[in-house]
Amino acid sequence: MKTILFISICLFAGIFYACKKSPEIHSLSTEKFGELITDNNVQLVDVRTAAEYAEGHLPGAININVLDEHFDKVAQQLLTADAPVAVYCKSGRRSKKAAQQLIQAGYQVYDLDKGIQGWEKAGKEIIQ
């Protein structure tokens, strides 16, 4: 009986460890995100559509549309896996989706919590 109990506890512990929570998205405030992207090693990605990107984006950002069916492939071609990735969209919804996909692909990802709308509201620079 003790052996069965011991084995059951070990199995439960093993299952619990295997199901451990996956890496989470690091959502940053406008201020913290601004500090992060001053690091030249950080890859800044606007995950909105090309049309939205053309209307205005953060300086130094590249555009990889998360709604494109080839998002993962394009990201893999353009991004370096050993450098952090900072993502943003309009309000923060799409960038969280992109962040999840990038995390699953092995990237360390940071998300601009309130998107470019929050960035603009804070008076930060946007270029066209």
- Report the catalytic residues: 89
Residue 77 structure tokens: 């071609």
Residue 53 structure tokens: 């990107």
Residue 10 structure tokens: 């070990």
Closest by CA to 103, choosing from 39, 17, 21, is: 21
Cβ density class 12-21: b for 16+ within 10 Å, e for less: eeeeeeeeee
Q: Give the span between the Cα atoms of 97 and 103, in whole angstroms.
A: 10
Beta bridge partner(s), residue 111: 27, 87
Q: Which helix (H) or strand (E) holds 110?
A: strand 109-112
